[in-house]
Structure 1
Amino acid sequence: MSLLSEYLLKEQQLKELDDELRAMERDTQLQADLAFKTRLDTLMADFDKHTADVVALLESLPEPIPTPTVPTASPDTPAAPSDGRRKRKTRVYENPHTGERIETRSANHKTLKAWKAEHGAETVEAWVLPAES
């Protein structure tokens, strides 16, 4: 590779890096992080502390106590599944024309789909029986 082509390649890479840098500078999260760093540096200078001092101080602190949260479920509500996803409530539909009942957690139930196609979704949703306590 000639010296000129290497120079042109480096110049192109520099332009690409400059564009990336300008895009990063417009990021609000980066601006907040830079402001935090500046204020932290000022605070460390005011107390004549170095980064290692701050790290040692933070490592010596006990684990933070989690902030208590307001429970959203009643105490008798079953615990959430282990995969972190909430289970859907079982809904019971009763067809007033045939007396047939189905229990499902999904709108993808074969019979439920057939009823909605035949009678309309709003009508079938009116067939939901109240949940048992």
Structure 2
Amino acid sequence: MSKLAEFKRLEAQLAEQLAALNSLKNDSELKREIEFESKLKALLDEYGVGLKAVINILDPGRTRTPLPTQKGQRRERAVKVYKNPHTNEVVETKGGNNKILNAWKAEYGAAAVKSWVQ
């Protein structure tokens, strides 16, 4: 891309961003939020209180209990113990992606290894 084309492209982007900024400056809701923020900061400074302290006052249970996740929490995987009847080797794992288990599955088949769970 030539320097002139790049310059014109950047200049057009800048003009777009300036137009968006000017429209935001005239937004009454933005002005209300800015006013609220400045008054809140002044009030916090006046009383010497931090934002975390205000949150603890308004919602005291929030700090003790974590917020629930949207999908919920997964239950912890149970430990499975596999014992190879051919070598008497024992493998403990919470998941199926284990190096030794994968080698056993390749050698003896997945169905056979699955039957070795203790």
TM tier, smaller: 0.3 to 0.5
If each structure's helix is expressed as a fraction of its own residues, which one has the higher value?
Answer: 2
- Calculate the TM-score normalised by the size of structure 1: 0.38
